[in-house]
């Protein structure tokens, strides 16, 4: 069951923002383009500020990136294993049970924050995933019960628990 609004539904504010979103999506490049452009800017700055040649700059960039491979692998594993743990049957059952505790929209936001913060104390990868999954479960439960929650605020509450 998806809690995201369909293309045709939404509040008046979201319908009013649709042309702005389309314009931004059309003209603002992806994150990869920004990464490539910034890489060239830093390479040019290194060339002029340090006097290093282009070959040394490219070698240094490659050595620096290779030095981060073990760290990147470790972070990917933490996230993947946190996601796997959060999607086990007992944890999903626990999240469904927890999602029935908040009785109003106002109590939903701090509740998601607290559960996400406790999960983050176990491991940050679990806290990151649990916050999003619990936000989705609570949004579905709110829809069943007939009260409205602001889904982006629920997700933000889940990620706020990550600061612990």
Q: Mind listing the pLDDT tens digit for each residue in 21-36?
A: 888 878 887 888 888 9
* Structural domain count, the chain: 2
Report how far residue 20's alpha carbon sits from residue 128's, in angstroms, rounded to the nearest whole number.
30
Name the pLDDT band for 20 (thresholds 50, 70, 90).
confident
**What torsion, rounded to 10 degrees, do the Cα atoms 140, 144, 149, 150 define?**
40
- State the sign of the Cα–Cα–Cα–Cα dihedral 120, 148, 98, 2: negative
Q: Is the pTM of this model over 0.85?
A: no
Question: What is the per-residue pLDDT for 1?
Answer: 46
Considering the domain architecture, whether residues 83 and 158 belong to the same structural domain is answered as: yes
Question: What is the per-residue pLDDT for 102?
Answer: 92
Residues 4-15 pLDDT 10s: 444 455 577 677
Provide the 8-state DSSP code for 30. P
Report how far residue 102's alpha carbon sits from residue 117's, in angstroms, rounded to the nearest whole number.
16
Considering the domain architecture, whether residues 82 and 55 belong to the same structural domain is answered as: no
Considering the domain architecture, whether residues 29 and 101 belong to the same structural domain is answered as: no
Among the three residues 67, 88, 105, which one is the final residue of a domain in this structure? 67
Contact of 138 with 154, CB cutoff 8 Å: yes
Among the three residues 25, 47, 67, which one is the final residue of a domain in this structure? 67
Among the three residues 20, 38, 67, which one is the final residue of a domain in this structure? 67
Contact of 158 with 134, CB cutoff 8 Å: yes
Domain hosting residue 98, numbered range: 77-164
């Amino acid at each position: 069951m998806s809690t995201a609004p369909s293309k045709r539904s939404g509040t008046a504010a979201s319908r009013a923002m649709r042309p702005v979103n389309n314009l931004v999506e059309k003209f603002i490049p992806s994150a990869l383009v920004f990464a490539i452009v910034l890489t060239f800017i830093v390479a040019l700055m290194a060339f002029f500020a340090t006097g290093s040649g282009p070959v040394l700059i490219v070698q240094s960039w490659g050595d620096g990136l290779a030095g981060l491979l073990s760290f990147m692998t470790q972070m990917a594993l933490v996230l993947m294993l946190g996601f796997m743990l959060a999607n086990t049957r007992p944890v999903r059952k626990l999240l469904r049970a927890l999602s029935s505790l908040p009785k109003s929209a106002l109590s939903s936001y701090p509740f998601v924050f607290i559960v996400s913060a406790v999960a983050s104390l176990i491991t940050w990868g679990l806290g990151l995933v649990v916050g999003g999954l619990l936000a989705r479960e609570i949004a579905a439960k709110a829809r069943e019960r007939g009260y409205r929650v602001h889904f982006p605020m629920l997700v933000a509450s889940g990620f706020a628990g990550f600061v612990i």
